[in-house]
Amino acid sequence: METPRNPPQQGGVTLVPKSQAAPAPQDASSGLPKWAREIQRFLGVKSQFILFGNVYDVYPVPIPGTAETGTGTMDMFLKAVLAERGYTLFFKYEPFVLTTLIGPPDDGALEGTELPPRGAEGITLERLSRLARDLEARREPSAILVSYASRLAELCPAEYQQFLYQLFRLSLSARAEQGRFSLVIWSIDKENDLPAWYRNSRIMPVPVPRPDHDVRRKIIRSAGPLIAGYRETAMKDPARLRGLVNLFADQTGGLYAGELVSIASMAVQDRTDITRIGDAVRHYKLGVPDNPWDRLDRETILKGGEVLSRRVIGQEHAVSHSLDIIKRSIFDLSGAQFSPHSQKPKGVLFFAGPTGVGKTELAKGITELVFGSPENYVRFDMSEFNQSHSDQRLMGAPPGYVGYEVGGELTNSVRQRPFTLILFDEIEKSHPRIMDIFLQILDDGRLTSGRGETAYFSDAVLVFTSNLGVYREGPGGEKEPLVTQDMPFPEVEARIQGAIREFFTFTLNRPELLNRIGKNIVVFDFIREKTAGGIFRKMLGNVLERLSDQRQIQVEMDTTGLNTLGAWVTRDLSMGGRGIGNALEECFVNPLSRELYAIDAANGDRIACSVAPGEGGRPEISLIML
């Protein structure tokens, strides 16, 4: 990609009278970023500018003699900005080095007064201040850029305060000539890097933000011709190329301009066609070229409903709804109705319903279906985030606070594993301030940590779980059931949906968060009698399978014993599947362990297990070695 170059570095430079200055080129300020237009607008009002923020990036710089735009550093960009306004002298100072960016020819003269040669080293702050005073006295359209000014206090502590004072006085005494001041332009990291007293009506702080959409498009157009297919598309279908450039600009919002150049270089290196520039952007953001969403087998997804229904029994509605969202995510259609270039998370699910009905288990099943393993997910128990400062655990502490170096638990997890399912368990127990974090994630698909590192959620699935709508608080603070097992599912669903809307809209005062979740609220039904038996048999099978795998002990049970045990552990379904599991552990797993020790069972044994009703109908087991 073509980039403007600095003038040849030569020695013995002297100033020339104004009569020899080249005429100012045609004004092109309308194409400049806002902060650069502000500088041009105030050239006759302010004698010094303080640039802070994104001062180490690259910027779009016109290529002399052409209608094209290249990229250049801050000094090259300011050179073009000032040249438009007729500035004939422009110097850049970085610690101890002075470089002439716009200057006269070597044989020019300024009444015998010589300046340091181009690229002169060993220039002290005292010498620089004398240069600033000399330039102001000559009334030439000149400027000095003081780069890396934030470091001067460390490098030249003895001279720094005097230098500041001299330039402060110069800012007040300077006079505009033909609507232009002889400028001093500071380039610093943060606005407070210069002392608070260094302010007056002649000094203007100018924040330099990250590139906006228009600037990003210019950078992309300057870097694009090297990308495969760019020139061909420009010739055959200019409208499509404009769309691809806009896509590139949309997907790189919040990045530095230098990062856009890096993405273009990656695309050239990987021979990525311009029509697949989104892949290059994702590879740069996530750092992984391997996308598990592209590897999903069609047959696996087609059979996904059957697989998930075996894992989460009795929740066909929840399984079907969740699978629809996963299918939508595979085709990258999440949020596509709002923008064709949406960067929202791949999928968002809000699981609501009674405890123990399979909300967390379905999240694990989706993880296994999409990402290959039920353990490939990140879980956050939101009851641990019920304090106002808990957001620092997710995003990381700000600079200067304890834990800043560690980063945030959420941002670190997503940066390390961008292709994952993130489970936020019992979301209603978190502090309301945490909800503001989810607003940004659901809207933009990204989150910036306290260390300034950006985590991208565009390839992640977010799952929230909640028990909202199951209970409500009574007059005395006690819990009263809002839904019961004798209600049909449509009524259960309507009541829980209504309670969720009321909580986010009135209690939490965050209706915008509910709006971003949209129609992705999935209500789980109670565990009903017709499905309780299937859950029991699955859990019993897990116990006997573990015994067989770990000890090679085969336990056999007849139908009568199976029915007796099942009737007991499913008699109370108020606690859902976890209640069935707890009852099974109490009346079968614990007695089975005792009996195995009593008969001295060894690896490879076959054992018959009989179950008979005992006192109060509680099942009692006995083992016989086969």
Give Cβ neighbours of residue 546 (< 8 Å, ≥ 6 apart): none
CATH number where 143 lies: 3.40.50
Tell which residue, 358, 360, 486, has the closest CA to residue 423: 360
Are residue 346 and residue 423 in the same domain, yes or no?
yes
Are residue 544 and residue 445 in the same domain, yes or no?
no
Residue 257 has pLDDT above 80, yes or no: yes
Tell which residue, 117, 189, 129, has the closest CA to residue 159: 129
Are residue 198 and residue 278 in the same domain, yes or no?
no
* Residue 234 counted as domain residue: yes
pLDDT 10s digits, 373-414: 777 789 999 999 999 888 889 998 887 777 777 889 999 999
Are residue 273 and residue 368 in the same domain, yes or no?
no
Phi and psi based region of residue 559 (left: phi greater than 0; alpha: psi -120 to 50; beta: remaining):
alpha
Does 460 or 1 have the greater pLDDT score? 460
* Residue 348 counted as domain residue: yes
* Residue 45 counted as domain residue: yes
Are residue 204 and residue 272 in the same domain, yes or no?
no
Helices (runs of H) and strands (runs of E) counted in the chain: 23, 21
CA distance 474 to 500: 18
Residue 49's pLDDT is 97
Contact 364, 465 (CB under 8 A): no
Q: Look at residues 460, 489, 523 and tell me which one is the last residue of a structural domain.
A: 523
CATH number where 565 lies: 1.10.8.60
Q: Look at residues 289, 320, 340 and tell me which one is the last residue of a structural domain.
A: 289
Are residue 376 and residue 276 in the same domain, yes or no?
no
* Residue 405 counted as domain residue: yes
* Residue 156 counted as domain residue: yes
Q: Look at residues 523, 547, 574 and tell me which one is the last residue of a structural domain.
A: 523
Query: Per the structure, how many domains does the chain have?
Result: 4
Over residues 599-605, mean pLDDT? 91
* DSSP tag of 33: -
Residue 107's pLDDT is 41
Residue 137's pLDDT is 87
What is the extent of the structural domain holding 270?
213-289
Q: What is the mean pLDDT of the chain?
A: 86
pLDDT 10s digits, 424-447: 999 999 998 898 899 989 988 899
If pLDDT is split at 50, 70 and 90, which confidence band does 341 have? low
Residues facing 279 on adjacent strands: none
If pLDDT is split at 50, 70 and 90, which confidence band does 299 have? confident
Instruction: Output 588-593 pairs: Cβ under 8 A, ≥24 positions apart.
Output: 588/540, 588/543, 588/619, 588/621, 589/543, 591/620, 591/621, 592/543, 592/555, 592/621, 592/623
* Residue 166 counted as domain residue: yes
Are residue 464 and residue 546 in the same domain, yes or no?
no
* DSSP tag of 66: S
pLDDT 10s digits, 1-41: 444 333 333 333 333 333 333 333 344 445 689 999 999 99
Are residue 280 and residue 379 in the same domain, yes or no?
no
Are residue 198 and residue 315 in the same domain, yes or no?
no
Crossing angle (nearest 10°) for helices 277-286 and 257-270: 110
* Residue 11 counted as domain residue: no
Are residue 429 and residue 566 in the same domain, yes or no?
no
CATH number where 476 lies: 3.40.50.300
Are residue 52 and residue 130 in the same domain, yes or no?
yes
Over residues 480-506, mean pLDDT? 93
- For the record, the structure tokens of 247 come out as 């896509």
* Residue 587 counted as domain residue: yes
Are residue 60 and residue 156 in the same domain, yes or no?
yes
Over residues 66-83, mean pLDDT? 89
